[in-house]
Structure 1
Amino acid sequence: MAKDCYLTLTVRNLPPGTTKQDVCNHINARYQNARPEVGPVVKDPNGHTFCTTVTVRQDTEDKCKTLLRDLNLRKIFPQYPTTDMRESELNVSDEFIGVTTLAEHNDPQFDLYFVHGLGGHAFKSWSTTTDMTSPRIWLRDIFPDDVKTRPVNQTNPNGPKLAGRFSTIGYRASSVGSNSAIMTIDKAAQNLLNMLRTDRPEGSSRPVYFACHSLGGIVTCQAIIRALRHNSDEHGRYHRHRDTLYQNDECLVKGIFFFGTPFEGSKLADNASLILKFLNKNSQLLDSLKAKSNELADIVAKFNQLRSQPHTDIPVLIAYEGLPIYGRTYVTKPDSATSSFKAHTMEINGDHRTMIKFSHRSDGSYREVAEGMIRLIQDTLTVSNMSPPASPKAHLQDDFQPKLLSRASTFASIRTMPPPYPGSGLQFSQHRKVPHEEPTPPASERASPVSDTCLLKVSAKNHFWNNQTPAVPVKYENVVPIVAPVRYCDPLPPVVPVKYSEIIPALEPGKREYKSPFSQLSQFDTVFLLDDTGSMGETEGDNNPRSKWDDLIESIQWTADIVCRYDKDGIDVRFFIDEAKDEFSIKKAQRVLDLLSNEVAPDELGGGTYIADRLYTILTEHLVKFEKWKQGLARRRGSPRVEKPKKLNLVVITDGAADDMEEVEDVIVETAKKLDELGAPVHQLGIQFLQIGKDDDAARWLAKLDDALKEKHNIRDIVDTRPWNRPTENDKSLKDRLKQILLGAISRAVDDERS
């Protein structure tokens, strides 16, 4: 009998009202033999959509992957939707990257995050499976039920019961490259902090607990050190994470459960190397771990020091394996587990891998682990922090009701695409931080999702706050309120509302063409080349919580949605660094946002901004297609003809001047000369550089590309440049700004209009 293959998936962006049966029916309607097992349907952090986990089975692993691809981006229609969001496109994945909530009680009193080790997987590391049964994960299927039967106060069995939220944290840290171990752990720690900051409501004081396996414990220690231990050299980089784990002079991390984490100082690197050796990682990383043993031991020492402070006294429970892995050796011995901390320890009847895999409640090791974890939660949970108050800093988004959302897992805010362009109009609300001192406006002035009028009201006393967006209560119908981030301290120019019909006009009765300059995008293949170098993760100014990556995503929120409307072939999204994440023919702008929010991050290793090679590749691909088509025109009549390629609109979004400026200029010049040689139309190809941030050197270099290359080399003009939200652009309407970005390099009329 053939062995079934199982695959567990995360299914996100479920409309409110979706049930487990809805998800099951949705899958069965397409795959009758999938036999889906649907987990609890829980609310996403955005508060508007829901998610779940589903295990499917097929005859082969390839069929499971095919099923995954087929389900992704398909629309689901719940039988009894509870809001106007009656359908949505699913986001389906088997990677479990970011925070995945597996179970949640009503009115949770705490968050419990499960962190896997380097090279692990957020679901597979904790789950069990056999040839005859589907995967079972105790932190979803067993532990939450045991928790909710226990009282908050052990001395009052009939009092309020415990209620929690149980989530995994998944991150890419397999370290298959040549990165050093200390950089790998530090990068994973920063990713973890980003995920926590996105997952938890801003200003939340709900207690946090971690359960960590193997080197995931070291990653968690490093994350807590980065967030809570003041370091003047790195304060600007990590201070924004402090509020996630520290509120009102109180550390929110109330306990950590370590499973098989090697703490012993001098042997830490050897033990860590052993772990990665069994995970088949490369020899370069193993050598790096041994070479960096002092730095790794420092993480343990700093964390222990942090725990000694009155306001950051974090209780820990340590478990170590009772069996050697593969019958050969122990990864974490009792002396390694107990030598660094004063903590309760326990032995688990399993090796380093199986020690966190429990399939049933009767397992003796599970009972001991569950009891230890529940008692620590009871001992540290207090009535005062059971029900965190609503954050006053989030009041502007209380009434925001978008129609299409996705879960952001790795960055500073939960981002939503403007919904598609139905008759109800384009709606957008920018997330922002509001200072603690800023009073909450009266309810009458807060944002209203629907109104008969368009009214933008700017409070004079709230014009400026640390270069933040002004407080703007908005009422709108069929209108986009434009609120430009404040980057200077002069009086704000008037904020001009842009009507939906002015951006994308509706079709006139009996007409088939839009009267919009954007309609010419249908003639082009639009490619976004995005800067994912390390500098994009930085902020501009100590008081500005928004990174340049946040601003890049904001620019994409508008531009990608418009292009997808007109380019029926879809858009391509490509990156300076992470070429493996390039995606092609994306037809839904929401997918672009998900990619940038959940799967791609600015490169932490730095290394400079090099654009020439990527430009050369993209431009050459287009030139080759055009040249083949041109050659085909000369063939004898009746011969097969090559399809004429669409024109190319390349939008490059970056924050600074390239480190290979001369090479970039050479690529542009040679491309223009080749177009002339081929006799290509004037706007066969255009390159738009969009600057994020306000680096003056970058602005001067981009201006040179726009203005000087044409005259210096006597070539056609194929380059246009502009800033995103530069001070001199704040008085531009959104329509004009978007038109310049998307059409400035491919339309002489638009370029001349700007001049």
Structure 2
Amino acid sequence: MTRDVYLTFAVRNLPPGTTAKDVHDHITRKHRSARPVVGSLIWEPNRRALQTIVTIRRSADWKCKVVREEIKHRIFRPGRPETDVRESNIDVDDEFLGVTTVAEHENAQFDMYFIHGLGGHAFTTWCNDTAVPQMWPKDFFPDNVEAKPRDPNDPTGARLAGRFSIVGYHANALTSWSATMTIEKAAQELLTHLSVDRPEGCKRPMFFACHSLGGLVTCQALIHALHEDSKRPGQQEGYKKVFFQDGECLVKGIFFFGTPFAGSRLALVSSVLVKVFGGNGELIDSLKHKSDQLGDIVGKFNQILSHPETKIPILLSYEKHPMRGVGFVTDHNSAVSSFDAETIGIDGDHRSMVKFATAHEMSYRLVAEKMIRYIQRSLSSSGYAASTRPEKASLVDEAPEKRSFPIAVPRRTDATDSGKSLPPYPSPPPSISPPPYESSWSFTGDIKGSPKTLDSPTWPLPFRPEPEAEVVGIMPKPESPVQPAAAPIKFSDLVQTQENGKEDHNKLTRLRMFDTVFILDDTGSMAETYDEAGARSRWSDLIESLRYTVDIVCRYDKDGVDVHFLCSDDMDKSGITNGQEVMDLLNEVEPDEIGGGTYISQQLWGILSSYLDRFEEWKVWMKERPRSKGPKVEKPKMLNLIIVTDGAADDKEDVENVIVEAAKRLDKLGALPYQVGIQFLQIGKDEDAAQWLNKLDDSLKAKHDVRDIVDTRPWDHPKEIDKPLQERLVQILLGAIDRSQDGNDTVEV
């Protein structure tokens, strides 16, 4: 049986009043077998005509193209036109160059642009490769966005609403037309498209999702528009208005998918192909590992990110699997090491990391959840209206609209005085000399030019963000000086003793076999207090629970415990070897001031998937060890994951799915029964949360026919250190990794 071929194209210049049925009928009058699927009708930027996305299918590619060409040359007439325009010559385009809006909510509050990479395509880059094309920025993501409240602290309030567009530019390095395209020229093309798409004076916040080279193009575009050292000063003022108005940067978030900030070693191979077959050698050379041009882009974009008026939140994602026959196109270091930002690994290779087949796919759900949270934070905190923004200290006496931007962004090594103008940019180096790259790869490419160096390390540029302005939230920061951190309860005061007075910690010595990892809930719900005076809150109880546990786990985990936060992930820390260091870290963190719900699955999935990848790598190495010529793979210790939370999760189903998938993977790998344990320690007395936590403990094994890797315990404020408390601490620390401790003492309802 011949497999159907699909072709997707944009249909533009449709008269007002056109319906999806009109477009469908227009195609099927002559090509009934094309079976067109017509998307929503969306206004073009000029608001005078409509556009839509159509997918057809035929038995051969050439037949699809015949349909496309014939549609172009036929007059289109809507069934019930709403204006005097009763017919039109429609435009049909399957290259998707420029901006194409693929979905739009009524009264959109923000714009999101999806930027493809080298050799990519504005539409198909984001489509699955199997069966009927599914394009998540059009088919899944808008629905997920609309289902969420704009203000996460008001679940019944107004919904999020956005406008979702793809942007196409010439980016095939092996085509003759693109033979002269460079990152700078592609950025110029992007700026032109955005300036046409955004009405003059538009103040809607902007978000960007960028795959591979698209991330570098977006960075370069922002440098042209916002950086003092723009190479296009004559055009900068016009472009600046697209991104910056009334003293506010309109770019509220950028999501990078596999962007090679430190270059791609695949460029070395591609440069050979270009020399043989022709094409754009200059563009390929710019992507070679740690090229001069990439160093310049990273350095300037880092300066933009550190400026007080352009602190753009960014999310860095990396591919977790190599491409068959190619390897990693963008390795982990190149994707995430150039900026101090949140990172997430995606379960796919360089191409498939942005191709999701369904809205239920775990990788998609986690990516979408993370992106939506960034959007909520931005819109709920600023409202994006100038009148709602807190006033900022003026950097100079001039009004923002009269000054060149960005003014005097400090170098990373410069100390600044808030009472003075910031020092000017250093002269941007024509190239940056990176330190030797420590990797198992061998780098044989040449870096051209005569490198100059900055006073500070340059690859990646060190990131020292300016102090954040205080935001009033559920638990406002005290005006008084920060109090010293509480001290942990000493190990010697907590361990059980035998009748002869000797320490009895034989049970606890089991912790030596495990890496202990904490996930701490610092979401808004943890700020809730128990009494009118507000002296005791869920957050204070969380800190109290850590006082009683950290010294014990630090004593046994010789390579240090890891601490992760649900919100303040920039404060995550690994390899902590003493309890006081954990308490000091907690002293610097407060529950999320903006709110935004309790989402556990993202951190849980990230930690579990990373651990299971390492465990699987070791298993493969052990199997192939007799004939393996590669380096030895160290066996990872078993994992004891302790999640301290009130249990009021907003992603309960996702958490369950993550746990079940991890248990299935452990079974498939033939892991030991206690290879991974997940201990939930509930803070507070939320009954619904307690029931859900008990379900995780008691029901998943039977429901899904998987191993039991979960234990749940309540935290009760201790009145004294006695034997019952000592026994409870043993149950908390060992409950998920020692079934003799997994009794009936689950969370009380």
For normalisation by structure 2, the TM-score amounts to 0.49
